Amino acid sequence: MAWFDNSVLAVAGGIGNTRAAAAARWAISERRPDVVISAGFSGGCITGLGLGDVVIASDVRPHQSLDLRGDVSDAARFECPPELIRTALAIGPPHALLCHVGTVVSTGAVLTSSEKRHLGETTGAIAVDMEAYAVAEVADSSAVPFIALKAVIDPVGEDLPDFVMRTGDGPDPRSGPALRYLLGRPWELGNVLHLARASSTASAALGTLVAAMADAPELSKLASPGPASP
C-alpha cells in the first residue's frame, strides 16, 4: 500500500528483504525522492536499548548466515549520510525520544534473544531488522541518499511470541501458518496482547521521528550514498 501527502510518499512494503526491495524500486521509479528512509521495527542486539527506543543507522549490512556462523562483509556495508544522522539525532531530545546511532544488520528471519545477543557480539551491530539493507541497495543503485530509522520492539533479552518467529523473507505472506498456530494454542493470547502493546509503543516513537524528518530541510541537500570502503 502507498500514501502520498505533502511531498512525502509512504509505502508499506511488508516484512522481509524481498518485499522491501520491491517497494523501494517502485517508490523510486514513481517519485524519484530526495531521500529514502527505511522505517520500521527492529530487535535490540545490545543492552541499553529499550522498547520504543529509536535506532538511527550509521550503516547497514547484510547477514549471509541465518544460523549466525557467517561473517558480515565490510565490502557490502552501506553508510548513511552524516547529515541525515545529525538531523535525526537533533530531533530526538525535543520529542522525548531515546535515540541510538549504530550498525543495523538485516537478516532473512526473526532472531531469538540469544541470536540477537550473539549477532551484536560478533558483528558490532546494535539492532537487527529484515529490510534495511535491501532498501539501501536499491537506493544506492539509483543514487538516492538513504537512512534507516528503526524502533525497538524486542530488546535483546526478549523473544517475540513464537508465532512471529515463523515469519520469514520471501514473496508470499506467512499469515497462514501463524494463524493456524494461534488457533491451536489459545494460551498465546497474552503474548499477542503484549506484542500489540509493544507495537503501539514502537510505532508512536517511530512515527514521531519520521514525521519530523520529513519536514527537515536537510533532506534536499544531500549527496548520494555509496558502499563504504573495506
Q: What is the pLDDT of residue 67?
A: 41
**Residue 15 domain-assigned (yes or no):** yes
- Alpha-carbon span 192 to 26, nearest angstrom: 32
If residue 102 lies in a helix (H) or strand (E), which one and from where to where? strand 99-106
**Residue 229 domain-assigned (yes or no):** no
- Alpha-carbon span 110 to 16, nearest angstrom: 10
Q: With H, G, I as helix, E, B as strand and everything else as coil, classify residue 55.
A: strand
pLDDT digits (tens, 9 = 90+) for 56-83: 999 999 886 434 444 555 557 899 999 9
- Alpha-carbon span 54 to 202, nearest angstrom: 8
Is it the case that residue 105 has pLDDT exceeding 60? yes
φ, ψ at 148 (rounded to 5°): -110, 130
For the ranges 20-34, 94-108, 170-184, the one whose mean pLDDT is highest: 94-108
> Into how many domains does the chain fold?
1
Range of the domain at 29: 2-220
pLDDT digits (tens, 9 = 90+) for 129-143: 999 999 999 999 999
**Residue 200 domain-assigned (yes or no):** yes
Is it the case that residue 1 has pLDDT exceeding 70? no
**Residue 183 domain-assigned (yes or no):** yes
Q: What is the DSSP letter of 124?
A: -
**Residue 228 domain-assigned (yes or no):** no
CATH no. for residue 157? 3.40.50.1580
**Residue 90 domain-assigned (yes or no):** yes
User: pLDDT exceeding 90 applies to what percent of the chain?
Assistant: 46
- Alpha-carbon span 198 to 203, nearest angstrom: 8
**Residue 230 domain-assigned (yes or no):** no
Q: What is the pLDDT of residue 153?
A: 94
**Residue 89 domain-assigned (yes or no):** yes
201 burial level (CB within 10 Å; 0-12, 13-18, 19+): middle
- Alpha-carbon span 56 to 85, nearest angstrom: 7
- Alpha-carbon span 175 to 77, nearest angstrom: 31
